[in-house]
Amino acid sequence: MATAEPVPTFAAVTGRPSRHGKPTPAELVEACLTTIGATSSSARPSAVQSRTWQLVLTERPPDLVAIAPTGSGKTLAFLLPAFLELMHTAPPGSAAGASPEPGAHVAEPPPPPLDPDAAMRTAAAAAFKRALAAGVPSDEAKAVARSQGKTAWKAAKAEQAQRDAAAAAAPSHAATRAAATPSDGTPAASPSVLILAPTRELCQQTADTARKIAEALCAKGRDASSLATGCVVGGVDYRGQRAHLLSGQPRLLVATPGRLLSLCGETPASTKLRQASAQGLNAASKKKAAGESANTPL
């Protein structure tokens, strides 16, 4: 077990070793800082982040269970070492250290499927705040919020229907690639890092934070394909989500157990987890108690 003191500042994370024996780069620390709105590496990590990085950022990291209250920074506590894993390993199927040839075209994945419920909640919350700020009574503000939420929900449903119709009329990159491959050799997504969470909302929040880190790293010159992130959850169009997963080939995948099992259980499977070298369970105690997190086929 590590004997070092808890990490006192974000600056102290820079240079700490990964399990591959390579130092944590300053650019990863800076990318993580952007997700919490901090501008200086002298900022102090939360207690769970400090203790987690103390133990995990070593050449022989242990399996770790971290327990902390909601809002204490657990997501960043495991995402920083997760991205360190991506930065220090080559994507599955590629030569170690290989990078795209200069000028090579990297196909853009299709946009992720729309979530009408999320659009409704966002629109309703924004409308409610605007109404209150304008001096509208609370009851009236709630009515305005409901109306705006319903409008946003309908708009999201209509836009997703248009996307589905367009995808059916013009086969996606993933469908074209699959059509050119024998059924027993359909390329499946093979993430290097898998993060499971029990609810759709928690998955989406985790994936949003991961994308912010990836975008900050890409802005510093990192290859976008080596940091690609994906999110698969229930309650969202299955076919659109599957197509996005296959074409995007995420290296970090955030998922709810049920949807992940569905994708792994296909014939041929859309998702294979044999390449996953790091796995995390985010707020998954209830799912584990129900026996849902231990049955994912590898």
- pTM here is 0.65
Q: How deeply is 134 buried, as exposed, middle or buried, from its count of CB atoms within 10 A (0-12, 13-18, 19+)?
A: exposed
Measured distance CA(44)–CA(50) in Å, rounded: 8
Identify the band that residue 146 occupies on the pLDDT scale cut at 50, 70 and 90.
Answer: very high
Fill in the DSSP letter of residue 271.
B
Tokens found for residue 212: 């912010």
Decide if pLDDT at 283 tops 80: no
Q: Please give the structure tokens belonging to residue 52.
A: 């987690």
Q: What confidence tens digit (pLDDT) does each residue in 99-133 have? A: 444 444 444 556 677 788 888 999 999 999 999 99
Amino acid present at 212: K
Report whether pLDDT(290) > 50: no
- The per-residue pLDDT of the chain, averaged, comes to 81
Question: Which of 295, 285, 296, 288 shows the shortest CA–CA distance to 68?
Answer: 285
Q: CA 89, CA 252: separation in Å to the nearest integer?
A: 12
Strand order in the sheet with 193-196: 229-232, 252-255, 193-196, 278-281
CA-to-CA distance for 25 and 35, rounded, in angstroms?
17
- pLDDT the model gives residue 94: 57
Pairing of strands 278-281, 229-232: unpaired
- pLDDT tens per residue, range 35-83: 999 888 889 999 999 999 999 999 999 999 999 998 999 999 999 999 9
Q: What CA–CA distances, in Å, run from 41 to 56, 79, 209, 263, 270?
A: 19, 17, 18, 40, 40
Residue by residue, DSSP assigns 78-125 as: HHHHHHHHHHTSPPTTS-TT--PPTT---PPPPPPPP-HHHHHHHHHH
